[in-house]
Amino acid sequence: MVIKTEPFVVNIGPAHPSTHGVFRMRATLDGEVVLDIEPVFGYLHRGIEKLAEERTYTQIIPLTDRLDYLASMSNNLAYVLAVEKLAGIAVPERAEYLRVIMAELQRIASHLIGVGAFLNDCGAFMTPILYMIREREKILDLFEMVCGQRLTYNYMRIGGVSHDIPEEFLPALKKFVDSMPGFIDEYDQLLKENEILLARSKGVGILSREQAINISASGPVLRASGVKWDIRKVDPYSIYDRFGFEVPTGSAGDCYDRYRVRVEEMRQSVRILKQAVEKLPAGEVRSEVSHLVRPPAGEAYGHIEAPRGELGFYLVSDNSIAPYRFHVRAPSLLNLTALREMVVGWKVADVLAIFGSIDICMGEADR
Amino acid sequence: MSLFDPGLNLSAYYPGTLPPEWPGGYWIHWGVFVVIILAFVLLMAMGFIWLERREVGRFQARLGPNRVGPFGVLQPVADAIKVLTKEDIIPAKGDKLVYWLAPVVAFVPVLMVFAVVPFQDGALLADLNIGILYVVAISSVSVVGVFMAGWSSNNKYSLLGAMRAVSQLVSYEIPLGLSILGVVVLAGSLSLNSIVEAQHIPFILLQPLGFLIYMAAAAAEINRTPFDLLEADSEIVAGFHTEYSGMKFALFYLVEYCEVLAVSVIVTTLFLAGWKGPLLPPLLWFLIKVFGVFTVIVWVRATVPRLRVDQVMAFAWKCLLPLALINLLITGIQVLVWPEVLPWAVVFLNLAIMVVLILLWSKFFKLGGGRVEV
Amino acid sequence: MKFERYGAGIAKGMVVTLKHLFRHPVTTQYPEERLTVSRRTRGNELIWDRERCTGCATCAKSCPQGAIRIVTSRGEENDYIVEEFRVDSGYCIFCGLCVESCPYEALFMGYGYERARYRRRELVLNKEELLTSEKKQPSGYARPKVEAALPPQTLLLDRDGVKK
């Protein structure tokens, strides 16, 4: 007897436990095997680029918080760098150090969520992500101490940062920096060598070096494929050239490598934080810049190494108080275009593990 | 002579199945035990729900439910009330009759398992002389209920869950049965009460490999991590019971915990010497062991990720099945060669054999699977 | 894919979870147990100082959401009289730009965080509701004098070594 079979289409998302936001994948399945996948974007589109073109340069900073809401500090930093480039504003020394401290704390916080969510997608029942959220909570406490908010910080300003740190911040930060490597070791002990995790992630969802470069992937996704490309090293912004740190890379470009690259980056961030705390100079944190910045006509592109990859802001000014054009180069969106190449041929369970290993944030991808 | 004659002496028909002398004979014994078992199973399932949530909470550095009642013990009751008052939704294009029947089909066999479980010496509903065979046979019926649920929901996630359920549960029946056979060979009986009585030292010491295989296979049978594929919430939402709500969902939820209870009870009986133990009353020993086994299951759940469907299959057929066969062979040889040997020598021998076998299999066993060219 | 480590990796992970069984849980039992928020917290609802406000409307201009509405009239001594000062906290994103830009330190962020409402219209605050009261304390965001008087924030970091 011949049993007639046919592939069937499953909508994974937009409301699904592990699509990390409202993302939809139209997957064609043959049993468990994924034959084809079609990503559907735009469920979280809020028109932030257009909204920004109707606001002054300072008013846009709170909007950038809402792009990648897991890494608001990095978004703030990328945006103010672009504006400073456009208007030619210098930043005080202490503010530069504070920016680096905040950006690296944010990188740790974001990677904690990224790694935790990936392990959760692999089926570890909430345990790793809850441990990681515990440490993220400590970082959020620090952010709250400095800027009064836990998610949408609105901390960076054009020409510096909004506030100096309170006096209890540095002791708390030192305590955090000292204890964090121990916690990272604990996460590694929990699941790094777990046979089931290895079976689930090693060799799964391979993105080759060429593919990664061709789709212009960036961040941990690119580095896991063996490309040593980190904006902090190749085009140092702010004062990153003053710190010693490694750029961890993977070799295979599979889910496991992406997971390991993120964990190693957390260690490197702790290293940068240690140096920054030691070198932190005294002085002003904000240069004299009016709330209404009016940059000369022209254009500028400022980019940083955000936790998810190269985050860039492209601004065109017509010498008014609002940008004429505001564009975000969102790493999540570009990394997500690699999804189809990675998942075709794998099982349904792998789709979500691979998806989790890209570590996307839909607020940024859909804008 | 009718079967419902209260004075009926069934021992004439089924020698060896007679319970202790009760006033009123067989039927009252049945009535009393059915009530006891229903109460026991439902209470323990509630207790397990509470215990699992509390324990997982503590494993994850949080508190777990602690609002309703002292230490939150009434949380399952509150949940039950909430679930029972929910709207009962039947998918428009689902198969209504099958959809309605599925929770019942899944629930009844799990309850029936407890008929042969000895709570203490001789305290059981029916001391069947084929006890453990009955358990294996009955508990595999639940998969039909799971499959019915997945099929009748008319939901693609449910169907995927049902597909996984059937392949996984059918595969794991085999190592499960084979690992039990080792115990049966040692005890020389299929009756659970006789198996407990035969355990002068707990069979976990004589059958360490069998115990591990049983735990792994049973975890797969009852959909616990790392084999909880059929309701993998991060992949297929809730698997076969995605569409269920209200009372029917409550039944599935109950099935899950009754199955855990059944496995804990059977592990206690087969490998941990059941109600036997010094000082404390037998029933208390039994409960302590059941809770101990359950805690281990929860602990595993709190730690490990989930395997993929092909890896689960490979693990059953390439790893557990050969190991179970070898274990059975070794047990058979040991029983034939040294029927009266000192147990402690055999304990260490079996532990050594277990370590060697696990190392060997880890070396040569491949999970297989991977990318399929499409 | 082989099981190279003979299950040692799983065993190591189990040790970690077992260790956590004996650690203090990090949960805060919210309604009974309250943490002190940051001294700079940008809490719910703005607080307005009637005496200091000159009605210059810099706050309204700096608001990215347009949530502040100010209507003024000419006073006798060539100053502004604030007729209407209305904040729709349903639109407010608590960015703090208005507080930062106020040249006379007449506007403060709120220190509280329990201001949920059943009706949207209750979120619109007029002049009287914006004044400070028993329930509404100003926060130290961009106001160093207020900040110095507030209690320090509770940190999860300080709980690290605590055993159960």
Q: Is the pLDDT of residue C149 over 50?
A: yes
Ranges A76-80, A262-266, B310-314: which has the least confidence? B310-314
Q: Which domains occur in chain C, in start order?
A: 2-32 (no CATH), 43-149 (3.30.70.3270)
pLDDT for residue B21: 59
pLDDT for residue B1: 38
DSSP letter, residue C118: S
Q: Is the pLDDT of residue B2 over 70?
A: no
Rounded to the nearest integer, the mean pLDDT of chain A is 87
Tens digits of residue pLDDT in B131-171: 788 888 888 888 888 888 888 888 888 888 888 888 888 88
pLDDT for residue B10: 45
pLDDT band at C55 (very low <50, low <70, confident <90, very high): confident
- Tell me, yes or no, if B109 comes closer than 8 A to chain A by beta carbon: no
Tens digits of residue pLDDT in B46-55: 888 888 888 8
| Closest residue, chain C, to B368 (C-alpha) | C1
pLDDT for residue B24: 59
- Tell me, yes or no, if B366 comes closer than 8 A to chain A by beta carbon: no
Distance in Å, alpha carbon of A234 to nearest chain C alpha carbon: 33
Which residue of C17, C56, C58, C97 is the best one to mutate when testing the A interface, meaning the one whose CB has the most A CBs within 10 A?
A: C97
Question: B281 or A216, which is more confident?
Answer: A216
Contact A162, C100 (CB under 8 A): yes
pLDDT for residue B163: 83
pLDDT for residue B25: 64
Tens digits of residue pLDDT in A270-314: 999 888 888 888 888 888 887 788 888 888 898 888 888 888 899
- Of the candidates B61, B64, B87, which has an alpha carbon nearest to the alpha carbon of residue B75? B64
Q: Is the pLDDT of residue B7 over 50?
A: no
Give me the percent of chain A exceeding a pLDDT of 70.
100
Tens digits of residue pLDDT in C65-97: 888 888 888 878 877 888 888 888 888 888 888
pLDDT band at B8 (very low <50, low <70, confident <90, very high): very low
pLDDT for residue B369: 61
How many Cβ atoms are within 10 Å of A345's Cβ, its own excluded? 14
pLDDT for residue B368: 62
- C26 CB neighbours in chain B (<8 A) are 61-62
pLDDT for residue B22: 57
pLDDT for residue B38: 85
- C1 CB neighbours in chain B (<8 A) are 311, 366-370
pTM here? Answer: 0.86
pLDDT for residue A360: 84
Contact C1, A201 (CB under 8 A): no
pLDDT for residue C6: 65
Q: Averaged over A31-40, what is the pLDDT?
A: 85
Tens digits of residue pLDDT in B201-216: 788 878 888 888 888 8
Q: Is the pLDDT of residue B125 over 80?
A: no
pLDDT for residue B341: 64
Number of A/C CB contacts below 8 angstroms equals 112
The residues with which C86 forms a beta bridge, in sequence order, are: C69
Rounded to the nearest integer, the mean pLDDT of chain B is 80
Q: Which residue reads 């040569």 in tokens? A: B364
Sheet strand arrangement including A24-30: A8-12, A24-30, A33-40
Distance in Å, alpha carbon of A198 to nearest chain B alpha carbon: 10
Tens digits of residue pLDDT in A161-211: 888 888 888 888 888 888 888 888 888 888 887 888 888 888 888 888 888
Which residue of A3, A125, A131, A133 is the best one to mutate when testing the B interface, meaning the one whose CB has the most B CBs within 10 A?
A: A125
- Of the candidates B339, B261, B223, which has an alpha carbon nearest to the alpha carbon of residue B41? B261
Contact C41, B77 (CB under 8 A): no
The SS3 of residue A107 is helix
Contact A284, A92 (CB under 8 A): yes
For residue A270 the two structure tokens come to: 């702790």
Tens digits of residue pLDDT in A316-333: 988 888 889 889 988 888
pLDDT for residue B20: 52
Which chains contact A through at least 3 pairs of Cβ atoms less than 8 Å apart? Answer: B, C
